[in-house]
């Protein structure tokens, strides 16, 4: 997913927005009906202050009955041809902030996953991490990427993280499976939890190293409709039939659990047709965002062909004037609380029929 980094004033986040009334929680309260199924929310650690305290956002997520949080850490390289991948001051969280946020999620009774994401500091409109083509060669780029992810994996291991996402939407680099297999093998010497990769919804079949991982990670930005009346709830439910069948077939073919690493919708009128795009409209449609989440939850609660999902993304100011992805302070937040509270069945084993 192509996402411009949110630069949000510390004071705006501190004030927050009007949210659906959360439940009062004691520290360490376990998730209700936790089980193995992931009913999660991604939390981008995107504040411009590297020491920002994400604890209040963690509390908001937990108050909506989520069982899991996917912490997203942005790293940067200069452009799509470079190999200088690193955490950047003012754009990436500090190590101490990441460790503190992991502890806050666990104290709130939720499981933690960690996903590093590579972004480009200088890019043309059509350029993103899916078009990376390192000018100094694959070995240089993967060596730089290794220097990013191995310390994060060690921190994840030491902090009780349950899942580590080894990469996200690196489309142009996915065919170099020898490099990926070597990196995954090394990551296993540092991290004992679940390893996955987050593939784009339209490129998952091109990934050839799924067998080296514990599960298949999929970003579910499937286009569902182009315009009204095809965004009515019954039309959206019908639109999910084909993607859901594709996911079930993927699980059967690869004999691996399938985890939806991202599913999300901006609060915009084009969200059903272009769910990955929060930049193409200035108009706001809070109702469509809510309906899209309801249709997704209806589709996968009825047929548990996945082992869970993470909603993209809680970070943001939120509220009725926010056209971005965050559900904060929007009808979508209450919809997600109802979705998470459903009696989700245990995930089906890989290879079984849906």
- In the chain, what are the domain boundaries? 35-340
SS3 153: helix
> What secondary structure letter does DSSP report for 341?
T
CATH code of the domain occupying 35-340: 3.20.20.80
Cα-only R_g, the chain: 19
- Residues 67 and 38: beta-carbon distance below 8 Å: yes
pTM of the model: 0.89
* Model confidence at 230: pLDDT above 90: no
SS3 354: coil
Residue 273 CB coordination number (10 Å): 14
* Model confidence at 71: pLDDT above 80: yes
- Token pair, residue 246, equals 């594709």
Measured torsion, CA atoms of residues 311, 313, 319, 324, in degrees rounded to the nearest 10: -110
Q: What percent of the chain has pLDDT over 90?
A: 78
- Residues 82 and 134: beta-carbon distance below 8 Å: yes
Find the mean pLDDT for residues 69-79: 98
Kindly tell me the burial class for residue 279, based on how many C-beta atoms sit within 10 Å of its own C-beta (0-12, 13-18, 19 or more).
middle
Residue 152 exposure: Cα atoms within 13 Å on the Cβ side: 28
* Model confidence at 14: pLDDT above 70: no
* Model confidence at 39: pLDDT above 50: yes
- Residues 184 and 149: beta-carbon distance below 8 Å: no
* Model confidence at 36: pLDDT above 50: yes
Find the mean pLDDT for residues 198-203: 94
SS3 147: helix
Cα–Cα distance, 1 to 290 (Å, whole number): 20
More confident residue, 262 or 20: 262
pLDDT at 21: 38
């Amino acid at each position: 997913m192509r996402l411009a980094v949110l630069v949000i004033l510390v004071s705006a986040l501190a004030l927050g927005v009007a949210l659906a009334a959360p439940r009062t929680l004691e520290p360490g309260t376990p998730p209700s009906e936790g089980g193995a199924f992931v009913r999660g929310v991604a939390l981008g650690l995107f504040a411009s202050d590297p020491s920002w305290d994400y604890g209040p956002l963690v509390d908001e997520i937990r108050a909506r009955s989520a069982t899991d949080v996917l912490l997203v850490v942005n790293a940067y390289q200069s452009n799509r041809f470079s190999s200088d991948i690193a955490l950047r001051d003012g754009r990436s969280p500090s190590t101490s902030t990441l460790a503190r946020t992991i502890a806050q999620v666990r104290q709130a009774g939720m499981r933690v996953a960690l996903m590093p994401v590579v972004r480009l500091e200088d890019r043309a409109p059509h350029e993103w991490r899916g078009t990376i083509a390192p000018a100094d060669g694959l070995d240089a780029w993967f060596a730089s990427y290794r220097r990013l992810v191995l310390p994060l994996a060690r921190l994840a291991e030491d902090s009780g993280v349950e899942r580590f996402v080894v990469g996200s939407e690196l489309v142009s680099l996915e065919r170099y499976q020898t490099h990926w297999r070597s990196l995954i093998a090394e990551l296993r010497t540092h991290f004992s939890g679940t390893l996955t990769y987050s593939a784009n919804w339209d490129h998952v079949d091109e990934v050839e190293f799924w067998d080296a991982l514990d599960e298949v990670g999929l970003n579910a930005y499937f286009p569902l409709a182009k315009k009204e009346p095809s965004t009515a709830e019954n039309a959206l439910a019908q639109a999910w039939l084909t993607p859901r069948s594709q996911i079930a077939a993927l699980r059967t073919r690869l004999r691996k659990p399938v985890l939806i690493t991202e599913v999300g919708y901006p609060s915009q009128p084009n969200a059903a047709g272009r769910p990955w795009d929060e930049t193409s409209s200035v108009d706001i449609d809070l109702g469509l965002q809510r309906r899209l989440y309801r249709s997704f939850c209806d589709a996968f609660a009825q047929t548990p062909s996945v082992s869970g999902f993470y909603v993209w993304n809680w970070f943001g100011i939120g509220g009725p004037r926010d056209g971005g992805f965050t559900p904060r302070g929007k009808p979508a937040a209450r919809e997600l609380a109802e979705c998470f509270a459903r009696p989700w069945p245990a995930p089906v084993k890989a290879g079984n029929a849906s």
